[in-house]
Structure 1
Amino acid sequence: MVSLICTLRHHTDEVSCCAFSPHLLATCSGDKTLRVYDTADFSELPFSPLTGHGYGVHCCCFSSCGSFLFTCSTDGSVMVWSPETGELTASLQHPGRSPLRVCALAPDSSLLLAGASDGTVALWDFTSKTLRRCSAVSEASVAACCFSPCSQMFVSGCTHGDLKLWDVDVRLLHAEKDAHDLGVTCCSFAPQFIVDGCCVEFRLASCGQDSLLKIWIVSQHEGAAIVMKLLHTLTSQSAPVLSCAFSSDGDMVVSGSLDKTAAVYDAKLGTLLHTLKQHDRYVTAVALSPAFPWIATGSMDRSVNVWRIGDGDCSAGNSSLPVVCVFTGRKLPGHSRLLLADWSEEDVQTWLCEEGLEELISVFKANNIDGAELIQLKKETATELGIESVGLRGRLLRKIEALKAAQSDSETPDEFLCPITRELMKDPVIAADGYSYERESIESWIRGKNKTSPMTNLPLQTTMLTPNRFLKMAITRLKSSQ
């Protein structure tokens, strides 16, 4: 049995990754933020959200002890954060400033790894924060990487579909060509490994654009070459599989897919246990708690769902968590009605109370102010209502503008947002890859010696940009209607 216990709706763009420590849940997004939650009640920590990346954040992960939190981004940097205070403790830049898609810390916290769009991996000594080496591991973008539980090897997966196993000096140990047709999207080692005499055996999960989740046995006899053998090919999802993760005991593996589901499997038998279907859009991220029977799933619908596995016995922690609670980053009464204009008078009064404007409730009630009137409320209207305090009037107007901006963001179609900055475009242009970008953003991207597409990672045949007048007119119409 798997039950939904919590939905988090704080991100304003698609959720790209989720990660658990023993006591925290971290989520990151195309909105450039990292958010951190206390798993005692899934409340957001006071210092959250964490900002610092210039572009969308692709990956987040904790150290095995939970003392450090890492993020990487299209801006080419890996940032190291304190999960206790939210302090940025280090920022490490890829030598070629190539966009970073994935990062991982060795289980013994000795090495920090990041995979880049130019086909390289950067490897830092984590204690000294110094670059150990930056090496080409693929002709395609590195989309996945993870360390073995012994910290002596790592796997890289690329958008051409190959899986490669390396030692910590980035010497190739084994290559599994075309492991996933059309590209690898994620890979994850099970935390445990088996030592049988002079043989060491690991379990590795990988997923890809071929809609498959695969479980491999990686083994090595003393003095012999690495052997990688396919154990299970799991086919329950009907679209590309974007993410995968093992449970802390290695008994389960979870995957998220473009078919809007997360699948839970018995990792040893390769059998489907549960299919989770609560997301409205692609499931882009999955994570399992090392301390509690919980799964987190993140989606392009901007939400993170937290699920309880089993009978719900959480005596070590969260026995009081309700089923289902929803935490949202914006306090929007009448949230089932997406448009502010649809709010009732009671919704408006509830909003005033939540924003600390209780003293205005009687005024609004006497004048029958509903959502439609709230949208139109100006300085002059507020004065006519008898709100004489300049400070109170100013606070009310600022709250209204923030509310309108929040709802505007939530209603903006994805195609109106620049793929690089994830902000509403003002001057959209079409690049050689066929995608539209904000002119300033794509020009900056090209000036930074990135001659590949931000969306496909393939070389741009030309740097010529063509104005997208139809898109610009559509954005203008959207803005005028808000």
Structure 2
Amino acid sequence: MSATGKIKAPRLSLINITAVGFNNSMRWMYTGGEDNSARIWDLRSRNLQCQRIFQVNTPVSCVCLHPNQVELFVGDQSGTIHLWDLRTDHNEQLLPERNMMIQSVDVNGIGTMLGALTHKGMFYTWTLKSVFNKPSRIYPKMKLEAHKTYALKCKFSPNSEFVVTTSADQTAKMWKSSDLNEVVTFTKPGQQWVWDCAFTSDSEFLFTCSSDSVVRLWRCDDGAPIHEYAGHQRAVTTIAFQDGRPKQDAEITAACNSPPPTTDIAVVVDDDVKS
């Protein structure tokens, strides 16, 4: 990390980064990119070092870390989900359906369910069973047409009771994770593509970001909009949220689609954003 808090990435890695995340101890970071790889980066050294590389055959579209901190789920544009066991480098593959790109993957907070969303709006879930010192066992559970148009993101609530999917159809939809029955739809005229979402830690509120340059806060029980955060000039495509300490305001950060004028960044979001 530099003094400004930015990660100095190697200049030779000038490829589109499609996923980024950190382990609980903040000792390492994982990324996925259009160079057909997922990577582990050591954050303990002053200069960012790539420790390990997991290579696939097509561009990586999404990556998610299991709560056990030792398994990564890697989705790619061929429609394959790879389970990468960081302890042994063992990997397994899931192919929900052919000719569908895996757009987003997520694991619920207790590590018992995997969800995956394809670009065609199909949402799949699997039951995860933990086995001591072995990769999680994966069992197909349910399949749902969550959206009829291009889908973008899936995210489980912190209490694991719900999952939200977002889409180009101008909606985010919340489903019960147990049976995938629809609970509520978050939508507002003119909000355009809904790119990303983030729950509050109590699972009672949801943030969304969309192509109309606005971040919105919604109430989860009835889908009512609470507040709008405006100010970006272009589509807001990524959002990260962290609850503040008790009696303090929550903090919200959103990244718009224009990358900063420097290569000292951890995430590059394409400038060519659809609406």
Contact 1:217/1:230 (<8 A) preserved = yes
Matches within 5 A, 1:302-321: 302=259
- Going from structure 1 to structure 2, the CA distance change for 1:229 and 1:296 (only over 3 Å counts) comes to same
The amino acid of 1:76's aligned partner reads N
Task: State the match for 2:159 in structure 1.
Answer: 192
Task: State the match for 1:259 in structure 2.
Answer: 212
- Going from structure 1 to structure 2, the CA distance change for 1:146 and 1:124 (only over 3 Å counts) comes to same
Task: State the match for 2:176 in structure 1.
Answer: 217
- Going from structure 1 to structure 2, the CA distance change for 1:282 and 1:37 (only over 3 Å counts) comes to farther
Matches within 5 A, 1:215-254: 215-219=174-178, 227-236=179-188, 238-254=191-207
Q: 2:42 aligns with which of 72, 78, 82?
A: 82
Task: State the match for 1:285 in structure 2.
Answer: 238
Paired with 1:231 and 1:37, the residues of 2 have a C-alpha distance of 44
Task: State the match for 2:165 in structure 1.
Answer: 206
In the TM superposition, what is the alpha-carbon distance from 1:131 to its structure 2 partner? 3.3
Q: Report the TM-score, using the length of structure 2 for normalisation.
A: 0.82
Unaligned runs of 5+ in 1: 1-35, 194-201, 220-226, 304-327, 331-413, 420-454, 456-482
SS in 2 for 1:44: coil
- Going from structure 1 to structure 2, the CA distance change for 1:290 and 1:113 (only over 3 Å counts) comes to farther
Paired with 1:105 and 1:167, the residues of 2 have a C-alpha distance of 16
- Going from structure 1 to structure 2, the CA distance change for 1:289 and 1:281 (only over 3 Å counts) comes to same
Unaligned runs of 5+ in 2: 129-136, 264-270
In the TM superposition, what is the alpha-carbon distance from 1:54 to its structure 2 partner? 5.2
SS in 1 for 2:90: strand
The structure that is strand-richer by fraction is 2
1:86-120 Cα shifts (integer Å, max 9, x gaps): 332211112xx210111000112131001110011
- Going from structure 1 to structure 2, the CA distance change for 1:138 and 1:53 (only over 3 Å counts) comes to farther
Runs of 4+ in 1 over 6 A off after TM superposition: none
Paired with 2:170 and 2:37, the residues of 1 have a C-alpha distance of 30
* Percent identity of equivalent pairs: 19
SS in 1 for 2:169: coil
In the TM superposition, what is the alpha-carbon distance from 1:75 to its structure 2 partner? 0.7
Matched, 1:112 2:72: yes
In the TM superposition, what is the alpha-carbon distance from 1:122 to its structure 2 partner? 0.8
Matched, 1:158 2:118: yes
Paired with 1:51 and 1:286, the residues of 2 have a C-alpha distance of 25
Contact 1:280/1:301 (<8 A) preserved = no
The amino acid of 1:126's aligned partner reads L
Task: State the match for 1:69 in structure 2.
Answer: 29
Larger radius of gyration: 1
SS in 1 for 2:87: coil
Task: State the match for 1:171 in structure 2.
Answer: 139
Paired with 1:52 and 1:238, the residues of 2 have a C-alpha distance of 37
In the TM superposition, what is the alpha-carbon distance from 1:215 to its structure 2 partner? 1.2
RMSD between aligned residues: 2.5
- Going from structure 1 to structure 2, the CA distance change for 1:300 and 1:50 (only over 3 Å counts) comes to same
Matches within 5 A, 1:117-156: 117-128=77-88, 130-139=89-98, 140-156=100-116
Paired with 1:282 and 1:101, the residues of 2 have a C-alpha distance of 19
SS in 2 for 1:295: strand
1:204-241 Cα shifts (integer Å, max 9, x gaps): 1110111101111112xxxxxxx111111011252011
The amino acid of 1:234's aligned partner reads F
Q: Report the TM-score, using the length of structure 1 for normalisation.
A: 0.48
In the TM superposition, what is the alpha-carbon distance from 1:155 to its structure 2 partner? 0.4
Task: State the match for 1:295 in structure 2.
Answer: 252
Q: 1:272 aligns with which of 225, 234, 238?
A: 225
Paired with 2:105 and 2:49, the residues of 1 have a C-alpha distance of 26
In the TM superposition, what is the alpha-carbon distance from 1:190 to its structure 2 partner? 1.4
Paired with 1:246 and 1:290, the residues of 2 have a C-alpha distance of 10
Paired with 1:133 and 1:51, the residues of 2 have a C-alpha distance of 32
Paired with 1:270 and 1:150, the residues of 2 have a C-alpha distance of 25
Paired with 1:255 and 1:154, the residues of 2 have a C-alpha distance of 21
The structure that is helix-richer by fraction is 1
